[in-house]
């Protein structure tokens, strides 16, 4: 019940294409859903996050779509660029508790020039 399932494990996209990464959760106590981007040799950094009271959030080329009834959320990267090549982690958090982050398994994205 504490797991967050993420897919795909790896993704190759052409420059200018759309990258889509999906996550699913079980625990309805989760109320904050961030996406993290990690480059080799660096710690994860927050990319974008959403709360379940909205179905979509957009920041530049990055969009989170959230489906509360299905307990799923996804990251869309529009006009993907080679600089977006990184590993992406979704996470789920219950902000009423200890703020313990449950991370997905990660998606290694490669954008071809």
Partner 1 sequence: SAVISQKPSRDICQRGTSLTIQCQVDSQVTMMFWYRQQPGQSLTLIATANQGSEATYESGFVIDKFPISRPNLTFSTLTVSNMSPEDSSIYLCSVEWQVEAFFGQGTRLTVV
Joined tokens for residue 95: 């902000």
Q: Specify the residue, 17 or 103, whose C-beta has the smaller distance to partner 1.
A: 103
The SS3 call for residue 58 is strand
* The one segment of 14-22, 56-64, 69-77, 92-100 that binds partner 1 by CB under 8 A: 92-100
As measured in angstroms, the least distance from the Cβ of 87 to partner 1 is: 9
Output 55 or 105, the one with its CB closest to partner 1.
Answer: 105
Check residue 82 and report its DSSP letter: G
* Among the residue ranges 15-23, 65-73, 78-86, 100-108, the one whose residues contact partner 1 (CB under 8 A): 100-108
For residue 77, give Cα distances in angstroms to 22, 58, 62, 68, 100.
12, 10, 5, 21, 26
Nearest to 84 by CA among 50, 41, 39: 39
Find the binder of partner 1 among 1, 43, 53, 60 (CB under 8 A): 43
23 interacts with partner 1 by CB under 8 A: no
């Amino acid at each position: 019940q504490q797991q967050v399932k993420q897919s795909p494990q790896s993704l190759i996209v052409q420059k200018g294409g759309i990258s889509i990464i999906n996550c699913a959760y079980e625990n309805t106590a989760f109320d904050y859903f961030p996406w993290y981007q990690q480059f080799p040799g660096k710690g994860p950094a927050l990319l974008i996050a959403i709360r379940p009271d909205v179905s979509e959030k957009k920041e530049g080329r990055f969009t989170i779509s959230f489906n509360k009834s299905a307990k799923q959320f996804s990251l869309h990267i529009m006009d993907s660029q080679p600089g977006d090549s990184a590993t992406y982690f979704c996470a789920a958090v219950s902000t009423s508790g200890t703020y313990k982050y449950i991370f997905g398994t990660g998606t290694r994205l490669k954008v071809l020039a």
